[in-house]
Chains A and B, each alone.
Chain A
Amino acid sequence: MDIEQNQAELIDNFVKQASAQKGTALGSVILEATSHPSLFAFSEILALPTVAELEGTENSVYLKVLQLFAHGTWSDYKSNCSSLPQLVPDQVLKLKQLTVLTLAETNKVLPYDELMMELDVTNVRELEDFLINECMYAGIVRGKLDQLRRCFEIQFAAGRDLRPGQLGSMIQTLSNWLGTSDNLLVSIQEEIKWADTMSELDKKHRKEVEDRVEEVKKSVSVKLQTVSRLKLSSEGSKISTLNLVE
């Protein structure tokens, strides 16, 4: 996953910066982090003790902004507009990108209408430009735009920071996947066994039929000898063509 590799250095940088600062200075670090065009992961910064200290102080807005960027969407921002500081255009862009990622979590096919509503975009052209330029070229999303059905089919979307409850559901999905593949393995093995058994049966059947043909041949040839002696006088030539049967 190249996005993670690209981000790894940035994350390290910001973590170092953030752990060195406190209070208001931290606010500027957070501002920088949230506006950086290639950074989409904030949970490492959130986990720092210096950042957690911001809770409850007058700088707690910065913590809220960081949390919003880690887990929230554009609509969350709009509903809480009053308690959060004004966002810089870079941050607005990033928040919209993160919103697309969150939407990708639930559905693989996103209708244009939903996207337009979530992202506050009015026409399709703008939406497509946004998706292509900001999301696909940035590498966070890969997919196909279906204009006829007005939807966006997502094949790959980068991961966002995890909420605490998501780990449980991820484990559930993984165990389901494991279960399905185990079942598949068992059924493949059964198929292989079935194929082998059927070929065995077929061979046996073929052999049986051949044995019976041999038997009948032998009995007919014995009969032929007795019959030919009796009827040799009248139908000699015709009976000798009995070999047609064989």
Chain B
Amino acid sequence: MASSSSSGLTFKLHPLVIVNISDHYTRVKSQLNPPPLTSTSATVNGVENQQQAPRVYGCVIGVQRGRTVEIFNSFELLYDPSTHSLDRPFLKKKQELYKKVFPHFYILGWYSTGSDAQESDMHIHRALMDINESPLYVLLNPAINPTQKDLPVTIYESELHVIDGIPQLIFVRSSYTIETVEAERISVDHVAHLKPSDGGSAATQLAAHLTGIHSAIKMLNSRIRVLHHYLVGMQKGDIPCENSLLRQVSSLLRRLPAIESEKFQDDFLMEYNDTLLITYLAMFTNCSSTMNELVDKFNTAYDRHSRRGGRTAFI
């Protein structure tokens, strides 16, 4: 069903679409709790999991400029299980509304969730072909796989292939790149850093912070290594000298060491000492309050023996 696409279109996907699809899926899934005993959801029969993961559907919109297709946004659609098609009047209404706000956006295709493209999806795909001659099918796999390194999103196009003498439309997978606007970058960054707060303890937060710095330095390291390799190659004569690059590298290297003035050392040490002092002070306060509590408990516990029939002074 899925081979590599040959249409030559380049796809650019915005993170907003991915967040929308996953949000839609999460909402529907959590609203199904407790799950219905009778399977009334419109999923494909005979799914392997016990709990039928609900499938959500919607439309993706964006811009197509020449050979580049950029998918900006998406919205949800209702799926009618009886007719195996999407809700057309709603789609038209939404299309008009979006056209008013974003006049340049066209409906580029549709999305759904699941692990793989199914045969029944072709019906929906064909139905959308009257809006867009070659719609896209964006599939999000909601199964969480911790070992997987790339996004579980695939974009399928439809191509006419001749199979067994019959020309058929099949889905072919296409590659895509992620394109971000500044606002999207900020929100994705924010969400990515949200994890450690529910970890709570100081050690995990410190570890998370250090891990972030570690990966940043590792990236810098790999890039410096590439430059180093390149220069060594140039010195040995394997690579022809490119003067403009050498000039840029020399100007870059002249910026090192980046911070070495005396004033920096002073400020840095002062701030370091301040932090240490405050930690020490906090520790002191903690200790003295614990000591105070201990003394109180001691008094209450052991004072009683001497209190028989008389009063003793408080320690």
Contacts and interface: CB of A to CB of B under 8 A. Distances in A.
Given A181-B220, A192-B210, A238 B304 contact: yes
B243 A41 contact: yes
Given A178-B224, A178-B228, A181-B224, A198 B203 contact: yes
Contact of A8 (B221, B244, B249): B244
B246 interface: yes
Contact of A158 (B201, B232, B251): B251
A188 B213 contact: yes
How many chain B residues sit at the interface, stated as a range, is: 35 or more
B203 A196 contact: yes
Contacts of A185: 214, 217-218, 221
A195 interface: yes
B217 A177 contact: no
Interface string B204-245: 101100110110011011001101100110110000000110
Contacts of B297: 245
B255 interface: yes
Contacts of B225: 178
B201 A199 contact: yes
B253 interface: yes
Contacts, number: 111
B211 A192 contact: yes
Given A184-B217, A185-B221, A195 B207 contact: yes
Contacts of B206: 192, 195
Contact of B204 (A158, A167, A199): A199
Interface residues of A, number: 48
B235 to A, nearest CB: 5
B250 interface: yes
Interface string A185-214: 100110110011011001000000000000
Given A174-B231, A188-B217, A192-B211, A160 B301 contact: no
A18 interface: no
A160 B250 contact: yes
Contact of B214 (A159, A167, A171, A192): A192
A175 interface: yes
Contact of A174 (B228, B243, B261): B228
25 contacts: A44-B244, A105-B254, A156-B255, A157-B251, A157-B254, A158-B251, A159-B246, A159-B249, A161-B247, A162-B243, A162-B246, A162-B247, A162-B250, A167-B235, A167-B246, A171-B235, A174-B228, A184-B217, A185-B217, A185-B218, A185-B221, A195-B206, A195-B210, A199-B202, A245-B301
Q: Which 7 A-B pairs have the closest CB atoms?
A: A159-B247, A199-B203, A159-B251, A159-B250, A174-B228, A43-B243, A181-B221
